[in-house]
Amino acid sequence: MGAPRPRPSPTPEPPAPLAEGPRTLSLEVPVDAERVAACLGPVDRVKARPPLVGAVDEAVALAARLVRARAVLAAVRAPTACRPTAGPRAGAWSTVPWAVFFAATIGPDLEATASAEAAAGRLLRAVAIDAAGSAASLGLADAVVHRLATGLLDGTGLGPILLAFPGDDGFPMEAQPLIIRALPAEQLEAIGLRLLTSGALSPLKSIAGVIGLSAQPGAVPSGDRSCEGCPSRERCTFRRSSV
């Protein structure tokens, strides 16, 4: 009999995403006049009203000083119950190996300023500041996806390919408390985000969601990140202009 053939060494399993545990991130969320105007109505109509244009410019400047965007996120084995189970992407969600739960907020300061302006009767300023908060909150998920795709997942062979929020098609609002409760309470408290008994988040300009991770087709080698396949590709502030 010949010598026994050596058994092939088992292929090492790639490291789990966020293997060190839940993370708290500080985020850069750009807020510009165009986005704020879009939160107020048709941009051309906003630009046709000089007082509103001035209020928007002031609100953008305030946002640059008062927005403190932060997020808490944790990776979970998929499939998870907190994902869309109906709708056009339900099939894709059932195949991803990992998901990331996240909650993010722009902080309370801009919201408090808008409330103070409204109480003082300066309604135009209040509306513009509130719109700046909405514009900032719309960029929170894109900023989280961007951080995952450009560093946090290095070495895992994974990348973000799906993004869903409670309230999306096939993903009921009842999922929001489940996401929040899956994140460390002390980390959420540290960024000032809490779940109200009504199921809403406080501060108001806060979000929660789930990001699906996969090795195909969104994940690409570190140093050669591509916007192709990213779930935020069509609207992301960080999108590469060449794509």
**What are the beta bridge partners of residue 72?**
24, 103
pLDDT, one tens digit per residue, over 59-93 is 999 999 999 999 999 999 988 889 999 988 899 99
Q: Which of 4-8, 24-28, 93-97, 168-172 has the lowest mean pLDDT?
A: 4-8
Is the separation of the CB atoms in 67 and 29 below 8 Å? yes
pLDDT, one tens digit per residue, over 3-24 is 666 666 665 666 789 988 999 9
pLDDT of 241:
42
In the structure, what pLDDT confidence band is assigned to residue 239 with cuts at 50, 70 and 90?
A: low
> What's the average model confidence in pLDDT over 192-206?
95
Query: What is the reported pTM?
Result: 0.85
pLDDT of 180:
97
Report long-range pairs for 228-231 (Cβ below 8 Å, ≥24 apart): 229/159, 229/161, 230/145, 230/149, 230/159, 230/160, 230/161, 231/145, 231/160, 231/161, 231/162, 231/163
pLDDT of 78:
87
Residue type for position 33: A
* In the predicted structure, residue 49 carries a pLDDT above the cut 50: yes
DSSP type of residue 13 = P
pLDDT, one tens digit per residue, over 107-163 is 999 999 999 999 999 999 999 999 999 999 999 999 999 999 999 999 899 999 999
Residues in the chain: 243
pLDDT, one tens digit per residue, over 216-225 is 644 433 333 4
pLDDT of 234:
57
pLDDT of 13:
65
Higher pLDDT, 241 or 184: 184
pLDDT of 88:
86
Sign of CA dihedral 238, 139, 166, 98: positive
> What's the average model confidence in pLDDT over 33-54?
94
In the structure, what pLDDT confidence band is assigned to residue 232 with cuts at 50, 70 and 90?
A: low
Higher pLDDT, 100 or 233: 100
pLDDT of 7:
67
pLDDT of 117:
98
